Amino acid sequence: MQLKPIEQSFAVNFKYSLHFTSTVFESNNGLLAEVIKSYKPKEQVKLLFVVDDGVLKKHPKLIESIRNYCLGHSSQLLFTECLVIAGGEIAKNNYDNVDRIISAINNNAICRHSFVVVIGGGAVIDMAGYAASVAHRGVKLIRIPTTVLSQNDAAIGVKNGINAYNKKNFIGTFAPPYAIINDIDFLTSLEQRDWIAGVAEAIKVALIKDEFFFKTIKENAIKLKERDMDAMLQTIYRCAEMHMEHIAKGGDPFESGSSRPLDFGHWSAHKLEQMSNYSLRHGEAVAKGIALDLTYSHLVGFISIEILDEILEVMLDIGFDLSIPVSGDTEMQELLKGIQEFREHLGGELTITLIDGIGQKMDVHKIDIELMKNAVNFLNNKCKINMA
């Protein structure tokens, strides 16, 4: 007896919101309570908080503020516990952090109708999102990102992950948050390198999607370097908006295909982070990766030297170090392994996004290794000239 295969097809509608506010845990700021109320209008909801220790050092009364906020909105919110996690990329390198969160979800009886609220930079948000997405096959998540990079990029999408086998984001899930709340007050306490680093993601999305946005970044380059809040908020808002538009309208939110344009500049960025033992911030590495792929784009004939110089000058004005830290053949070969590792992570055909004009992306499926080596040397020589 031969049985026909049974086929099934269904669609799931995902919806989440990005909010902008200041001092989210002030008692008179009802945003978080309203976000929770939008899910459970008439019930008290349990909340488990995860806080980046770097944020706590800059805001030592944060946990007290969280407790008081929940007490002040006790008809909607029930505080259970606040876990403090070491921030930075180390958060994603240690599976014990995932286990701590999953254990706390279990110990506090956090269910699918409860919330994990994570407050911190992109690495802690990635890791906590992964833990929440695998507990009970998915506990609801609210992200409160505290850096420029996490507010305009890392916390905006649907990806969660941790590092393993010396590879960035080797383990992870696609799981949208319930909501994201960008609190601009957290940005005021950032170190200068963290203030600047996140702008790399805005430059990335402008270069592949929106020439006008790049011109705006160019006009605001010095203001961004000098910590002008209005210029930064304008940059964060447009970058986040474009990121969310890409997820909704790009046709491949869970990356089942081979093209990943939002990772322009990232094949080398991920490798450079790993080679530096994560002393490089993600945004710093992305800036270098963008500069390298721009240089390769020029050497292969896609963009003129004038366009290359214009973009690099903007990035240098903002304060980026664009040099590629490799010395000798061994380190060069290690860097170039990142191309194959990038393909393995995505799967399928190698697909690297380059540009053939500002705001104009193009995909290539083969990299000339010798030309990429030349691009590293070409870029490093330009950086030496600029530093002289």
- % of the chain beyond a pLDDT of 90: 83
In the structure, what pLDDT confidence band is assigned to residue 264 with cuts at 50, 70 and 90? very high
pLDDT at 316 exceeding the cut of 70: yes
Contacts of 44 (CB under 8 A, 6+ apart): 74, 75, 76, 77, 78
Q: What tens digit of pLDDT does each residue of 15-36 get?
A: 899 999 999 999 999 999 999 9
Q: How far apart are CA 4 and CA 340, in angstroms?
A: 40
Q: What tens digit of pLDDT does each residue of 32-56 get?
A: 999 999 998 889 999 999 999 999 9
Q: Could you tell me which residues are beta bridge partners of residue 162? A: 171
Residues of the chain with CATH 3.40.50.1970: 17-189
Name the E strands within 66-166: 77-85, 115-120, 140-145, 159-164
- % of the chain beyond a pLDDT of 70: 97
pLDDT at 388 exceeding the cut of 70: no
Contacts of 46 (CB under 8 A, 6+ apart): 78, 80, 108, 109, 110, 111, 114, 115
- For the domain made up of 199-387, the CATH class stated in words is mainly alpha
Task: Tell me the average pLDDT across 335-353.
Answer: 89
pLDDT at 251 exceeding the cut of 80: no
Identify the sign of the CA torsion 322, 373, 255, 250. positive
Give the DSSP letter of residue 260: -
Q: What is the dihedral of CA 317, 55, 182, 236, to 10 degrees?
A: 10
**pTM for the structure as a whole:** 0.92
Q: How far apart are CA 310 and CA 305, in angstroms?
A: 8
Contact 378, 295 (CB under 8 A): yes
Q: How far apart are CA 260 and CA 159, in angstroms?
A: 13
Per-residue model confidence (pLDDT) at position 253: 73
Average pLDDT, the chain: 94
Fold of 17-189: Rossmann fold (3.40.50)
Strands 77-85 and 45-52: parallel
Structure tokens at 152: 């305009």
Per-residue model confidence (pLDDT) at position 10: 84
Q: How far apart are CA 272 and CA 258, in angstroms?
A: 22
Give the DSSP letter of residue 22: S
Contact 73, 129 (CB under 8 A): no
Q: Estimate to the nearest angstrom the gap between the alpha carbon of 198 and the chain centroid.
A: 9
Residues of the chain with CATH 1.20.1090.10: 199-387
Per-residue model confidence (pLDDT) at position 363: 94
Q: What tens digit of pLDDT does each residue of 134-147 get?
A: 999 999 999 999 99
Would you tell me the crossing angle of helices 199-209 and 282-299 to the nearest 10 degrees?
30
Contact 254, 158 (CB under 8 A): yes
